[in-house]
Chain A
């Protein structure tokens, strides 16, 4: 990716030419090369491919055959390269993407019993419980109702779980942090449905249930924040939801653990206590060192990760652009600091604007690597004053059995050959 340090004895023009050529020659390594092949073949301008009329204008556009983008289906920590039926989630290739909006087909996926094929004409949403009215809504009605769109991240509470106990050096950032994505979501504000059914004042929890085989169900606390921000969503990035993401309708609760945003939503029931489903007792609870488990640890905490240079990349001495993503379920990212000396000193990274609340933020930092082994780390701060903790703090509070909600600062080590590797700190 970066050119080698030019000889200071060369003239400026020579140096420029050399840099340009070195850049072209080495552009297929590193972050860009990961997604785009073949750049190194373009040498002199005399080599021009013949220009001929291209493929006809079509109904849809596909990716270039030169671009290789895909998710990775995996299971619990350390369980990779699985038969498709053994995978439980599929991770977004963060190191091959730029900006903050995830392409629809690359949004991470967690499905608990496969992806159902639901007919929107037969799918209905029942809203009942502690309400003045029990109502059934069709998908046509939901599309006709008042609507809202919002760019927000969605993150699996298991994101980061590979690193609780040890750091596998062969992991990329897709393995360590690929269970987060950012989309524009569109649908009916939950508050509109709450008004339509007439929620009773005493209702403080809501059960949301999916129409998938497992009937995934979670209890959702009805705080003002959740009631004001939750979307009964039918579209992602401008198009109807894709089946893997909940077609024809799902819940979308910005900033809260992904499994609360029930896909294939078929039922909302208002109550006055948590319903204690399997997923909020046996599953999405975090075991602490003393054997007790945190329950209803629902908010996705402040987090960040450097996506380039990151795990399994190789860099060269000289200019390297450090870039990455930061996010917080509490609100907006206001600051990302990057350390290129293992956490001893920190520099402020630049944030792409606008930075949106409960969406991923993209950061950049110019860096010249001197070729000596080092470690690079990022840490984020949000507008509520939360600062991303280091690993020692996270482990000190939770131990190493929690499985969920690992948001410690991610460290990448770089050896003298420029090899970037996942390490604990």
Chain B
């Protein structure tokens, strides 16, 4: 087939160019612009179990109780039970029963995950509006309702990762993903 139509010729050249780029490897491509550390920080919100990613700040159980009443109780119940949405409190000792009750207290393995989730996703209607100190505070309050931290506790960057959750050892990772090996 000849390629007299100039449009077809252009299209063929474009296809050839893509094929060449593919053959040369993606490193020869020029796509994407560098992200600066400051703008990465705006999006880099995940918190690891060792505390990596936790921001500076702190919150008390007492402050958390007030935040919870205002921001959380409507969906999760006044004391973390009996609400329309996920139950947050209780259920310890039920996981092997016919009716397991999975809550922050009975099921979640890491307190850092609670901070991460509250900060990124709650309150449901306005995620991301709580602020760092109030996120520490409401996390402290939910943990205190579960008997995991004391009623006068204060949580911050250093103390939150040290909280030991009751179900910390309740998870069995699939063998395939305990140690990842790969070739690139």
Binding site for B on A (CB under 8 A): 113, 126-128, 133-137, 141, 144-146, 191-197, 199, 201, 204-205, 207, 209, 213-215, 217, 221-224, 227, 266-267, 269, 271, 273, 275-278, 281-282, 285, 287-299, 400-401
Cα(A217)–Cα(B116), bound, Å:
10
Give every chain A residue within 8 A of B100 (Cβ-Cβ): 287, 291, 401
Give every chain B residue within 8 A of A401 (Cβ-Cβ): 98, 100
Cα(A216)–Cα(B95), bound, Å:
25
The verdict on A134 contacting B34 (CB below 8 Å), with A126-B43, A215-B120, A293-B172 known, is yes
Quote the shortest CB–CB distance from B89 to chain A (angstroms). 14
Give every chain A residue within 8 A of B27 (Cβ-Cβ): 195-196
Cα(A204)–Cα(B116), bound, Å:
21
The verdict on A278 contacting B183 (CB below 8 Å), with A141-B31, A294-B172, A296-B173 known, is no
B182: contacting residue among A135, A224, A292, A293, CB under 8 A? A224
Give every chain B residue within 8 A of A217 (Cβ-Cβ): 46, 120
The verdict on B4 contacting chain A, using a C-beta distance below 8 Å, is no
The verdict on A195 contacting B25 (CB below 8 Å), with A136-B35, A214-B127, A291-B96 known, is yes
Query: Which A residue's beta carbon lies closest to that of B118?
Result: A278
Give every chain A residue within 8 A of B21 (Cβ-Cβ): 146
Quote the shortest CB–CB distance from B104 to chain A (angstroms). 8
Inter-chain contact B46/A227, CB cutoff 8 Å: no
Quote the shortest CB–CB distance from A147 to chain B (angstroms). 8
Inter-chain contact A227/B184, CB cutoff 8 Å: yes
Inter-chain contact B46/A207, CB cutoff 8 Å: yes
Query: Which B residue's beta carbon lies closest to that of A146?
Result: B22
Inter-chain contact A113/B117, CB cutoff 8 Å: no
Quote the shortest CB–CB distance from B159 to chain A (angstroms). 18
Cα(A288)–Cα(B127), bound, Å:
33
Quote the shortest CB–CB distance from B184 to chain A (angstroms). 6
Inter-chain contact B113/A278, CB cutoff 8 Å: yes
Inter-chain contact B172/A292, CB cutoff 8 Å: yes
Inter-chain contact B26/A224, CB cutoff 8 Å: no
The verdict on B110 contacting chain A, using a C-beta distance below 8 Å, is yes
Inter-chain contact A292/B171, CB cutoff 8 Å: yes
Inter-chain contact A293/B45, CB cutoff 8 Å: no
Inter-chain contact B120/A289, CB cutoff 8 Å: no
Give every chain B residue within 8 A of A298 (Cβ-Cβ): 174, 177
Cα(A227)–Cα(B26), bound, Å:
14
Inter-chain contact A293/B32, CB cutoff 8 Å: no
The verdict on A133 contacting B34 (CB below 8 Å), with A269-B44, A281-B109 known, is yes
The verdict on B49 contacting chain A, using a C-beta distance below 8 Å, is yes
List the 3 closest A-B pairs by CB distance, nearest first.
A291-B96, A135-B32, A291-B95
Cα(A127)–Cα(B32), bound, Å:
9
The verdict on B66 contacting chain A, using a C-beta distance below 8 Å, is no
Cα(A282)–Cα(B124), bound, Å:
17
Quote the shortest CB–CB distance from B78 to chain A (angstroms). 22
Quote the shortest CB–CB distance from A81 to chain B (angstroms). 17
The verdict on A113 contacting B121 (CB below 8 Å), with A134-B40, A204-B180 known, is yes
Digitize B155-171: 1 where CB-to-A-CB distance is under 8 Å, 0 elsewhere.
00000000000000011
Query: Which A residue's beta carbon lies closest to that of B22?
Result: A146
Give every chain B residue within 8 A of A287 (Cβ-Cβ): 95, 100, 102
The verdict on B33 contacting chain A, using a C-beta distance below 8 Å, is yes
Quote the shortest CB–CB distance from B36 to chain A (angstroms). 8
Inter-chain contact B120/A292, CB cutoff 8 Å: no
